[in-house]
Copies of this chain bind each other. A is one copy, B any other.
Amino acid sequence: MDEPLNLVLFSGTDDKLQAAAVLTAGAAALGRPVHLFLQYWALDAFRADRIGRDHGLAPEAGPAGRKAVEVLAAAGQAPWAETLRQAKELGGVDVEACSLSMDLLRLEQTDLDPLVDGVEGVTAFYLSAGDGQIVFI
């Protein structure tokens, strides 16, 4: 498990981002390098002015799912951005924005939360992924 775990984040709803943050934190806690590649609506959720907002849930969550998420948040569950921040403090977590999605959303790196370390294209993504696993979320 020395190869990095490469998570391509596409979805920008809070439930999928929370799932991604937990997978990141768990891998980081085991000393495994994690490389996040932010695309589309996931990238949009990392905008500095929006990262703390409600980004909705997958449509299938329904009212009962929404309620469950709210109850857990009220009980003090860390939001996904906070879970990621803690994972980064453990070290070995690199967060990169996809350059094509930056163009799509007309963003500059200064528009993004400091959790994001840089911007890279898909070729750079593959080169740093090496033989490590790729997971699309």
Inter-chain contact A22/B100, CB cutoff 8 Å: yes
Inter-chain contact A40/B11, CB cutoff 8 Å: no
Given A133-B133, A136-B135, also A122-B39 (CB < 8 A): no
Given A26-B123, A32-B126, also A12-B60 (CB < 8 A): yes
Interchain CB contact (< 8 A) of A135 among B5, B27, B30, B135: B135
Interchain CB contact (< 8 A) of A134 among B5, B60, B125: B5
- Point out residues on A near B: beta carbons under 8 Å: 1, 5, 8, 10-13, 15-16, 19, 22-23, 25-27, 29-30, 32, 39-41, 44, 55-56, 58-61, 65, 68-69, 72, 100, 103-106, 121-123, 125-127, 130-131, 133-137
